[in-house]
């Protein structure tokens, strides 16, 4: 079971990575209408999502057959996804360390107070 993305930037990133995997190309292209259907969003929502993600991951390439065509920079998308995963791990480790330190401190204070 896949985790539900928290924001539209993550939603677009996951959709781009999935699309690129299925295409089998290193920097695949897609028509805007294709991605609108995949994401289930309007053109305005897609434009906002794309601007929030940034042009280094996906940008408009040209107009092909009367439709906007975009290129996905697959390696950059993977790097961003991995960076986000590492950040989440670091946050959890920090929280866990703080909790364990507090518990250890409480136990030591209780032990010394009881002596």
- The two structure tokens encoding residue 85: 């995963």
Residue 67 belongs to a domain: yes
Residue 15 belongs to a domain: yes
Q: In what order do the strands lie in the sheet with 58-64?
A: 29-31, 67-72, 58-64
Give, for all 115 residues of the chain, the pLDDT tens digit.
555 556 889 999 999 999 999 999 989 999 999 999 999 999 999 999 999 999 999 999 999 888 999 999 999 999 999 998 888 899 999 999 999 999 999 988 888 887 6
Q: How confident is the model at residue 1, as a pLDDT? A: 52
Neighbours of 95 (CB within 10 A): 10
- The two structure tokens encoding residue 101: 């330190």
- The model's pTM is 0.73
Q: How confident is the model at residue 42, as a pLDDT? A: 95
Task: Tally the domains of the chain.
Answer: 1
Residue 92 belongs to a domain: no
CB 89 within 8 A of CB 99: no
Residue 53 belongs to a domain: yes
Residue 70 lies in domain: 8-82
The Cα–Cα gap between 60 and 32 comes to 9
The alpha helices in 1-115, defined as continuous H runs, are: 8-23, 32-39, 43-53, 74-114
Residue 112 belongs to a domain: no
Residue 18 belongs to a domain: yes
Residue 110 belongs to a domain: no
Per-residue model confidence as pLDDT tens digits over 57-86: 999 999 988 899 999 999 999 999 999 888
Neighbours of 57 (CB within 10 A): 22
């Amino acid at each position: 079971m896949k985790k539900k993305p928290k924001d539209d930037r993550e939603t677009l990133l996951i959709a781009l990575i999935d699309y690129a995997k299925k295409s089998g190309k290193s920097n695949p292209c897609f028509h805007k209408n294709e991605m609108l259907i995949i994401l289930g969003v309007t053109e305005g929502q897609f434009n906002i999502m794309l601007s929030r993600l940034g042009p280094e991951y996906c940008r408009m390439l040209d107009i092909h057959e009367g439709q906007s065509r975009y290129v996905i920079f697959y390696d950059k998308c993977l790097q961003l996804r991995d960076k986000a995963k590492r950040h989440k791990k670091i946050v959890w480790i920090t929280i866990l360390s703080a909790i364990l330190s507090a518990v250890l401190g409480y136990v030591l204070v209780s032990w010394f107070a009881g002596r």
